[in-house]
Amino acid sequence: MMKVIGAGLPRTGTTSMKAALERLGFAPCYHMVEVMTHPDHVDRWLEAVAGKVQTREDWDRVFEGYEAEVDWPASHYWRELADAYPEGKVVLTVRDPHTWYPSIRMLLSGENRPDLSDEMPEQVRLLFASMQRMRPALDQIGRTHFGPDWTFGDDLADEELVVAAFNRHVETVEQTVPAERLLVFDVREGWEPLCAFLGVDVPAGEPFPHLNDAESMRQAFERMRTGDMSAFPFGQPGS
């Protein structure tokens, strides 16, 4: 059963949230990295954007073995998951939208997606090939936020438009999910509000994980281009 439903946009601390939720026992937690490390998962999301995933049984198959989710593509379906799993609690990760903007721009722009040349290390080819197959799903997800003409890899140059999309998303979630079922959470707040909301103990003496900031992400992409897959978080393609 999906116990924790992430509703936050990418680059709102979702990598840290994955680690935190798994530490708290909501494991494993679904994240875009699952698609990147398990290429067969791409088919699940192509079916979802095609409207073929609708019932709880359908979502059970998509998330078989997982107890939580954060980050796209899963968090895009927060509304459907909240309906399918009425027992699940919803966590909306947030941050200052103006500091979020350059991070999401770097993530979604085409500069980090090189052409799949024969010279590229095989593991890197597999990873980026999976993301290429995800294009139809990512295009559709992005268009709901950035407009009908957006495609994955387009430069999000209009900060005002992107920040407005962020604020609109936050407002929609807050107005849709009952207050007693929703936690609006900035990962800088640490363990206490998250643990209180989920009804679990705060890990004694452990700092809240803070992973994959913008500079770390940029450096990881650069290392991955050279075949250094140790830069890839949470495992490697096929693992």
Position 109 scores a pLDDT of: 84
Closest among 153, 124, 139 to 37, alpha carbons compared:
124
More confident residue, 149 or 117: 149
| pTM listed for this prediction | 0.88
pLDDT at 73 over 80: yes
Residue 132, pLDDT score: 87
The span from the CA of 170 to the CA of 202, in Å, is 26
Pairing status of strand 68-69 against strand 29-30: parallel
In the chain, the amino acid numbered 52 is: K
The rounded mean pLDDT for the chain is 88
pLDDT in tens, 171-227: 999 999 999 999 999 999 999 999 999 999 999 999 999 876 555 555 555 655 565
DSSP string, 25-62: T--SEE-HHHHHH-GGGHHHHHHHHTT---SHHHHHHH
Distance (Å, rounded) from C-alpha 233 to C-alpha 212?
A: 8
Per-residue pLDDT tens for 152-163?
989 999 999 999
Cα separation values, 34 from 62, 128, 233, Å: 12, 13, 10
Answer yes or no: is pLDDT of 7 > 50: yes
pLDDT in tens, 87-104: 999 999 999 999 999 999
How many residues are given for the chain? 239
Query: What local confidence, expressed as pLDDT, does residue 128 receive?
Result: 75
Tell me how many degrees the CA angle 8-35-51 measures, rounded to the nearest 5.
75
Distance of alpha carbon 174 from alpha carbon 179, whole angstroms: 7
With cut-offs at 50, 70 and 90, classify the pLDDT of residue 236: very low
